[in-house]
Amino acid sequence: MYRTHTCGELRISDQGKKVTLSGWIQRSRDLGGMTFIDLRDRYGVTQLVFNMETNAGLCTEARKLGREYVLMAEGNVNERSNKNPKMPTGDIEIQVTAFNVLNAAATPPFTIEDESDGGDELRMKYRYLDLRRNPLKNNLMLRHRMAFETRNYLNSQAFIEVETPVLIKSTPEGARDFVVPSRVNPGQFYALPQSPQTFKQLLMVAGYDRYMQIVKCFRDEDLRADRQPEFTQIDCEMAFVHQDDILDMFEGLIGHLFREVKGVIFETRFPRMTFAEAMEKYGSDKPDIRFGMTFVDLANACKGKGFGVIDDAPYVGGIVAQGCSEYTRKQLDELTDFVKKPQVGARGLIYIRCNADGTYKSSMDKFYSPDDLKGIAAAAAAVAGDLILILTGEKQPTQKALGELRLEMGNRLGLRDKKEFKPLWVVDFPLLEWDQETKRFYAMHHPFTSPKPEDAQYLESDPARVRANAYDCVINGVEVGGGSIRIHDEALQKRMFKSLGFTDEEAQNQFGFLLGAFRYGAPPHGGIAFGFDRLVSLFAGEDSIRDVIAFPKNNAARDVMAECPSEISEAQLKELSIRVQKN
Amino acid sequence: MYRTHTCGELRISDQGKKVTLSGWIQRSRDLGGMTFIDLRDRYGVTQLVFNMETNAGLCTEARKLGREYVLMAEGNVNERSNKNPKMPTGDIEIQVTAFNVLNAAATPPFTIEDESDGGDELRMKYRYLDLRRNPLKNNLMLRHRMAFETRNYLNSQAFIEVETPVLIKSTPEGARDFVVPSRVNPGQFYALPQSPQTFKQLLMVAGYDRYMQIVKCFRDEDLRADRQPEFTQIDCEMAFVHQDDILDMFEGLIGHLFREVKGVIFETRFPRMTFAEAMEKYGSDKPDIRFGMTFVDLANACKGKGFGVIDDAPYVGGIVAQGCSEYTRKQLDELTDFVKKPQVGARGLIYIRCNADGTYKSSMDKFYSPDDLKGIAAAAAAVAGDLILILTGEKQPTQKALGELRLEMGNRLGLRDKKEFKPLWVVDFPLLEWDQETKRFYAMHHPFTSPKPEDAQYLESDPARVRANAYDCVINGVEVGGGSIRIHDEALQKRMFKSLGFTDEEAQNQFGFLLGAFRYGAPPHGGIAFGFDRLVSLFAGEDSIRDVIAFPKNNAARDVMAECPSEISEAQLKELSIRVQKN
């Protein structure tokens, strides 16, 4: 070992010990006759001292050392005259008697500090330097602990981790696959898994009962802000369970993680909300319930006064922003601009100020008398000092837009505290989703999700009406996990494929081995998968999953550090029986 | 839940309880007025009883159930009249009061028993049924426990698990890469990692100090018996350590796994043997030290009697098979055939019987007097009753062949007990290996392995002489892990690349980002990777790693269950800017 102790562990009780530390030079200060060096490793920072009076040679040498040099230093643990209560090692310093430069360092292209001066691109290129910074280091330590505690909890619940293959069969259903040409089987390809879905269901058929895996998954999508071509799931499946058994089990997992990793204890069970209620009250299938401001249907209270925007709208919904009656014209304009953004998509915003003096002021004063407004305020349960915000239009898009406005107001009012955590289960998702473009139904979750038994009768007559045994785990408005009870009955599965417009042959071709397996004794089963990157970023209080991934790709799916993807040789292509042909 | 208990947990103390079990029908027996069904799940087997006298309807229904049906049964726990001490649940049975067929099952294509009647191909095609068998189930449970305990141990030693990317840059050095065409970057490719080598070294540069990962790796090789295109490693790296620190740490890991998982405790430290000694005494860099029978150099004792096969040979080596002097002609012929096999490659076998009566009988009697033979026996430390087996020829291949013969004798004499475990470290591997075909040196381990400091001076003048700070962990003749101390000095790394025949440009092109990283303060570091599949198969007593992998590929790298790899659509190929072109 190049050290007797780490840079994070020495305390006043170690005073007088002769120690050896190794680490990186965080900073160096020359003060008159003394030189101070902060030596850093993963565990912390310890101050080294060199004294011109007692050892001029050593001190002179020390003054030549640069930032990020790798140093091994020997010396004695002394009590500091100038203690630093902010550092765990702040009571002591090392009076260095000898040192050894283990490696020199060029000047880093940005500062290795909690707040670095480097831009995103530069820090991505030198990711190995960026990873030295505390924020990233703490995120990766957190990620490790969360993975470790996930396994601890699930192991204690008799789950076994089974590794499923990474080189699998490509299926056209779902998102785009990454593929891998096979050299040994010319013209044929493997795909990288978008999830281990079929394999975990096969494990249930095989009797494994409680399966888990923390596993890399792959999706060749055009990247948005918070997506990566490879991402990590906590993937789980259980047999002989009903939906409630799964929700109970994984509420246990999430509770365990919060308790062990963040010291957060949930006093009550996670609320369970239907998809229909979530849309009706929050305009989102992943409601942020850290704050109320739920939707009020104002159609009855508003209609019939001759205001076309309201009278002609299939849906009139509002939210009440408490204490915002004095919002300025500028603030209201900002909100109007916000709801008109293409991503939100409303045509305009109606407001009613419930003034402190009991009067009302609204953007639709022309059509509504003070008494009308009072009636609407009463319907919205708004009181003096509140601001009512109203959107109108087609039901679904308007609810969605109102949901966005609600979140914006939550942000403005500081109601979305990153240190507060409010989980819930959203249940009873629709089984199928109509796609206007391809004019067919798609499975909202996936083709193996089971309909609710009482709704299965409508699978042919009214597919849109069928609810699924599907559920999402939502925390603070973030969908951290989702799953379903699967179909384990061959006849029902065939009906499902039919609803999705699959011919028997297509179903057989794509999922033949799973359908075959179902003929040999498939147990009732269901499961869930958590987006591990997103869960970690939620715990870390980070907005992007990139900040909790050691070596992420950029928005063009490139690793700018390793310069990858890259071209490969003609010989490699030939061996793989493929040619590049750019369009 | 479809059950109150598993099929493995009820005991006599549960007598009288009303329970619900769910599982698969292992077998069913009709005995006069009774029907017995063995119900199986992951946890065990419980006997269900139906009685024609007390409930004829139910019993008649039960008689219709076939093998592998999925059943939920309700009933009472009774004491058995006919206890089965071989089953943990053998003291009780369930008097069934009601049951529910959760799923029917077609007759499986082979029997789901410890010894199945299905051939390899058939069992691979129906892997989900094969996985129901106890031997495979136990292997996967063992694998889970070993992964779990590996993480437990390394976590307790302050290692953190960091996920490294699966989509990385392709490098021509080493084995063949699997590649993944990038849609977003036409004409460019990712590679799947053969190991996370560069990333774990970057993590050391980033200061992470103690890294571990249980990780999938990929190699596009022509498959031999015990290889898979995707395999799993326990991958580790440490900074600020010397070789001994690494050996100590991972001896700790292996000891922990044996203790926790198999109850095996090693009383002494693992022996450490140099590569040179391993070749000299065992003809192998992975000696099986469960038994002795080490090589004796018999050149001095044998030469000079006019027998050309000996006199002209650069190397004359022998082993002593104790108590084998009475081997028959047939047995000796078998051994001669064995050493002549192309895989072993000797030209012939010389033997000397040391008869019980003190006489000698040898295949080279023509050249050697009884006294000569006595002298050779003395040199070999053979005694009456022993058989001396001698091979001659060029040193390296002859030692290798003698090593194979030694293992064969170990097998014949029952000296290789699968329940006995003898680990050791083989150290001081050569740094470089000459390749006759391409006329250049290759890194025996990889290009970042550091030479022993005292040998570095010969890197240019006598590269073959340079030993590396490289080590293998060997158990029972199986290399389960290997690693090295890495080069962290840029100048030395450049000399190493030169020895490997890399131009500066080539080195820069392939490993530029790692070399770049080394300029910003790389600490001394080293690591190790264990072949997890192999380690588990060693613990399981299995000969093939396939038996410890849930869904393995066959020898043609195919998944015969999912029928993969397979062709993909023209549209997919076009999106990826590639075309298939078979040669």
Q: What is the pLDDT of residue A473?
A: 98
Select from A407, A413, A411 the least CA-distant residue to A385: A413
- CB proximity B202 to A under 8 Å: yes
SS3 for A529-561, per residue?
Answer: EEEHHHHHHHHHCCCCHHHHCCCCCCCCCCECC
Domains and CATH numbers, chain B: 12-103 (2.40.50.140), 138-272+423-548 (3.30.930.10), 291-412 (3.30.1360.30)
**Subunit contact B240:A22, Cβ cutoff 8 A:** yes
B491 touches chain A (CB under 8 A): no
In degrees, to the nearest 5, what angle opens at C-alpha B580 toward C-alphas B578 and B583? Answer: 135
Query: Of A118-127, A505-514, B379-388, B557-566, which gets the smallest average pLDDT?
Result: A505-514
Q: Per-residue confidence of chain B (583 residues) as pLDDT tens digits?
A: 999 999 999 999 999 999 999 999 999 999 989 999 999 999 999 999 999 999 999 999 999 999 999 999 999 999 999 999 999 999 999 999 999 999 999 999 999 999 999 999 999 999 999 999 999 999 999 999 999 999 999 999 999 999 999 999 998 767 899 999 999 999 999 999 999 999 999 999 999 999 999 999 999 988 766 789 999 999 999 999 999 999 999 999 999 999 999 999 999 999 999 999 999 999 999 999 999 999 999 999 999 999 999 999 999 999 999 999 999 999 999 999 999 999 999 999 999 999 999 999 999 999 999 999 999 999 999 999 999 999 999 999 999 999 999 999 999 999 999 999 999 999 999 999 988 888 888 888 888 999 999 999 999 999 999 999 999 999 999 999 999 999 998 889 989 999 888 888 888 888 888 889 999 999 999 999 999 999 999 999 999 999 999 999 998 899 999 999 999 999 999 999 999 998 6
pLDDT, residue A502, reads: 87
Q: Spell out a b/e string for A431-448, using b for 16 or more CB atoms within 10 Å of the CB, else e.
A: bbeeeeeeeebbbbbbbb
A179 at interface of B, judged by CB pairs closer than 8 A: yes
pLDDT of residue A511: 82
Is there a contact between A71 and A102 (Cβ–Cβ < 8 Å)?
A: yes
Put simply, whether A263 touches B (Cβ < 8 Å) is no
Return the pLDDT at B224. 67
CA pair distance A240, B151, nearest whole angstrom = 29
Q: Do B207 and A137 touch (CB under 8 A)?
A: yes
A274 — phi, psi (to 5°)?
A: -75, 155
Query: What is the β-pairing status of strands B440-443 and B230-239?
Result: unpaired
pLDDT of residue A491: 87
CA of A11, closest CA in chain B: separation in Å? 19
CB of B105 less than 8 A from some CB of A: yes
Beta-carbon separation of B564 and A169 below 8 A? yes
What CA dihedral angle connects B414, B418, B420 and B422, to 10 degrees? 100
The complex's ipTM works out to 0.95
Q: According to the model, what pLDDT value does residue A225 have?
A: 66
Distance from CA of B82 to the nearest CA of A (A): 28
Please indicate if any CB of chain B lies within 8 Å of the CB of A102.
yes
Residue among B22, B245, B574 minimizing CB distance to A240: B22
CA distance A440 to chain B (A): 20
Strands A92-103 and A44-51, sheet pairing = parallel
Chain A interface disruption, residue of B149, B261, B520, most A CBs within 10 A: B520
Which residues in chain B have their CB less than 8 angstroms from residue A569's CB? 172
- When the pLDDT of each residue in chain A is averaged and rounded to a whole number, the result is 95
Q: Do B557 and A182 touch (CB under 8 A)?
A: yes
- Is 70 exceeded by the pLDDT of residue A224? no
Q: For the residues A457-481, what does the mean pLDDT come to?
A: 96
Q: To the nearest whole angstrom, how far is the Cα of A521 from the nearest Cα of chain B?
A: 4
Rounded Cα gap, residues B29 and A210, in angstroms: 30
Can you tell me whether residue B14 is helix, strand or coil? helix
B488 touches chain A (CB under 8 A): yes
Residues of A in contact with B208 (CB under 8 A): 42, 131, 137, 140
Contact B558 A185 (CB under 8 A): yes
Segment (H or E) for B122 = helix B120-125
Instruction: Give the span between the Cα atoms of A349 and A483, in whole angstroms.
Output: 36
Within an 8 Å CB–CB cutoff, is residue A281 touching chain B? no
Q: To the nearest whole angstrom, how far is the Cα of A507 from the nearest Cα of chain B? A: 13
- Which residue in A240, A492, A560 has the most chain B C-beta atoms within 10 A of its own C-beta, making it the best mutation to test that interface? A240
Q: Residue B220: helix, strand or coil by DSSP?
A: coil
B261 interfacial to chain A (CB closer than 8 Å): no
Inform me whether the C-beta atom of residue B34 falls under 8 Å from chain A C-beta atoms.
Answer: no
CB B209 to CB A148 under 8 A?
no
Among chain A residues, CA nearest to B148: A151
Chain A residues near residue B517 by CB distance under 8 angstroms: 128
- Cβ–Cβ pairs < 8 A, chains A and B: 359
Nearest to B182 among A147, A513, A565 (CB): A565
Q: Is the peptide bond before A565 cis (omega within 30 degrees of 0)?
A: yes
> What's residue B159's pLDDT?
98
Q: Which residues of A touch B192 (CB under 8 A)?
A: 166, 180
Least CB–CB distance from A187: residue in B1, B567, B575: B567
- Measured between CB atoms, does A199 come within 8 Å of chain B? yes
Please give the structure tokens belonging to residue A236: 């789980």
Q: Is A515 exposed, middle or buried (0-12, 13-18, 19+ CB in 10 A)?
A: middle
* pLDDT for A373: 96
Beta carbons of B392 and B315 less than 8 angstroms apart: yes
Query: How many CB atoms sit inside 10 A of residue B61's CB?
Result: 14
Whether A206 contacts chain B with CB within 8 A:
yes
Q: Report residue B148 as tokens.
A: 């779990």
| A508 — pLDDT class (breaks 50, 70, 90) | confident
Contact B103 A574 (CB under 8 A): no
User: Coil, helix or strand for A293?
Assistant: coil
Interval A120-124 mean pLDDT: 93
pTM: 0.96
**Chain A residue with Cα closest to B513:** A562
Cβ distance of B187 and A582 shorter than 8 Å = yes
Which of B178, B517, B577 lies nearest to residue A128, judging by beta carbons? B517
Are the Cβ atoms of B163 and A216 closer than 8 angstroms? Answer: yes
Residue A414 pLDDT greater than 70, yes or no: yes
Say if CB B349 and CB B335 are below 8 A apart.
Answer: yes
Q: Which of B1, B232, B241 sits opposite A245 (nearest CB)?
A: B1
Instruction: Give yes or no for A160 touching B (CB within 8 A).
Output: yes
Closest B-chain CA to A44: B207
A 293-332: CB under 8 A from B: none
B155 touches chain A (CB under 8 A): yes
**Which residues of chain A does B209 touch, with a Cβ-Cβ cutoff of 8 Å?**
41-43
For residue B570, the tally of other CB atoms under 10 A from its CB is 10
Residue A172: is its pLDDT beyond 80? no
Say if B50 is an interface residue toward chain A (CB within 8 Å): no
Cβ distance B184 to A222 less than 8 Å, yes or no, reads yes
Look up residue A346 and give its two tokens.
Answer: 């409303």
- Report the distance separating Cα A89 and Cα A26, nearest Å: 15
CA distance A490 to chain B (A): 9
Q: Nearest chain B Cα to A186, which residue?
A: B582
pLDDT at A512 over 70: yes
Work out the percent of chain A whose per-residue pLDDT is above 90. Answer: 89
